[in-house]
Copies of this chain bind each other. A is one copy, B any other.
């Protein structure tokens, strides 16, 4: 099958590599001159907000998916009007594009989220502070990622500063959550409704960008948390008749899980599945789209993944670590840009304070600005 992927970044690249193994033919649609997926997919150049060009792309493939989340809703509608369907569901994508709608949808399904308020004025923001407490996180409702478009607020001067920087577009204020850990759950739902779940993954963000993921998560009560998270993802996926891989990031708090963010796609915190799971999140996304049975998510050993941001590491130093793998996205390095990831797989859990993970973290650049 010809699998059309809107977006040719590293997620498109890794989806394309998974598609090849199964004998499918990946195509990638991207506006850039030199996207990450260029050497592993047939490339179609076009803007993400050009419905005509995207429709032509859609006509040339058998299956349509996306790795780029900010496709304008009107483009998705136009494709749907032509009788072509995107997976995963554009209804779910629309939610993921708006932090307020996302939180409301999660709440509607009984999935706990942080207390929050819509903020469209400085007065709204002050009211949110009065109702939610002194410590807030102010975020743009749309187009935020990797820590962009958000500010922490702890006092009145930071309220004015945050409003000055972010004000003018629809915002959301969220109560600041004192979390014990950040975790995520990656799952895939097939066309027949079957769901498979990867082990709960523990994440560490720095400057709002994922730095480190470890699986299985090393948090107290992990088994019960995983079962709860699986229940939440099942509710979401079934409600939206979701087909493909999806991810929810959670805070682990004293009172349990709070859903923080959804992603209607393969996710950075699931990159370790390429090296650590029987079937990767990318292969399972392709299986779901193509109507194949889903693959085993069995993860026989412990895994850690470290992002390389802003610069590449010395590959020989990384690959010399026991159980290490290196994935280069072939992107031009820029501060804040994810250009590669590395993984460790082995029989005993990896600890950030001990080699080899300590060494891997030291070897992996993290240049954010």
Contact = CB atoms under 8 A, between A and B. Distances in A.
Interface of A: 13, 17, 20-23, 25, 39-40, 42, 274-275, 278-279, 283, 287, 291-293, 295-296, 298, 300-301, 315-316, 319-320, 322-330, 340, 345-347
Residue from the set A17, A39, A345, A347 with the largest chain B CB neighbour count within 10 Å: A39
Nearest to A317: B293
Contact of A328 (B22, B42, B278): B22
A328 B23 contact: yes
Nearest to A312: B23
B17 A330 contact: no
A315 B300 contact: no
A41 to B, nearest CB: 8
A314 to B, nearest CB: 10
Contacts of A329: 23
B23 A315 contact: yes
B23 A340 contact: yes
Contact of A300 (B20, B296, B324, B347): B347
B23 A295 contact: no
B322 A23 contact: no
B328 A295 contact: no
Contacts of A324: 295
A347 B295 CA distance: 15
A208 to B, nearest CB: 26
A326 B23 contact: yes
A330 to B, nearest CB: 6
Nearest to A323: B296
A42 to B, nearest CB: 8
A326 B22 contact: yes
Contacts of A275: 278
Contact of A330 (B23, B298, B315, B346): B23
A293 B319 CA distance: 6
Nearest to A340: B23
Contacts of A328: 21-23
A319 B292 contact: yes
A227 to B, nearest CB: 22
Contacts of A13: 20
A315 B23 CA distance: 10
Given A315-B23, A330-B23, A323 B345 contact: no
A17 to B, nearest CB: 6
A193 to B, nearest CB: 15
Nearest to A322: B296
B295 A316 contact: no
Contacts of A279: 325
A278 B323 contact: yes
CB-based closest 6 A-B pairs: A23-B328, A293-B320, A300-B300, A293-B319, A292-B319, A296-B323
Contacts of A295: 319, 324-325
A49 to B, nearest CB: 29
